Amino acid sequence: MLTGHDVRTAYEMGWDTLTNGKLLDAVQAAGFDIFVTSDQRLKSQQNLAGRKIAVVALGSNHWDTIKADPARVIAACAGAGEGAYIVVPYPKPPRRRRTPPTSVES
């Protein structure tokens, strides 16, 4: 989806147990330019001033919704500079309809 970018997950990098501040430190130390997350609370929890990385926060963690419109993420990454925090809005995913149990008559 992000052609021309080296994309890794926190799990792949062994960072899946790191919390926000330490995770951002690890991302920056590894030389990444952009951190893409679905954690929209990150901005209020972390000060990005002085960071060399940008944070792109997705408005959804529903992969089918994001995959259906990747242009939003691509545009946000293209416009992201050092210390930037960009929110990429996405509509809420459709709710799954629960099917009522079938009744059996005897």
- Whether 48 is in a domain gets the answer yes
How far apart (Å, rounded) are the C-alpha atoms in residues 56 and 74?
10
- Whether 102 is in a domain gets the answer no
- Whether 31 is in a domain gets the answer yes
- Whether 72 is in a domain gets the answer yes
Place of tokens 């242009």: 71
In this structure, are residues 30 and 61 in contact, taking their beta carbons and an 8 Å threshold? no
Q: Could you give the number of structural domains in the chain?
A: 1
- Whether 100 is in a domain gets the answer no
pTM of the model: 0.82
- Whether 32 is in a domain gets the answer yes
- Whether 1 is in a domain gets the answer no
In this structure, are residues 55 and 35 in contact, taking their beta carbons and an 8 Å threshold? yes
On average, the pLDDT of the chain sits at 88
pLDDT tens-digit series, residues 21-57: 999 999 999 999 999 999 888 888 888 888 999 999 9
Full domain range(s) for residue 81: 10-88
Place of tokens 């963690």: 61
- Whether 39 is in a domain gets the answer yes
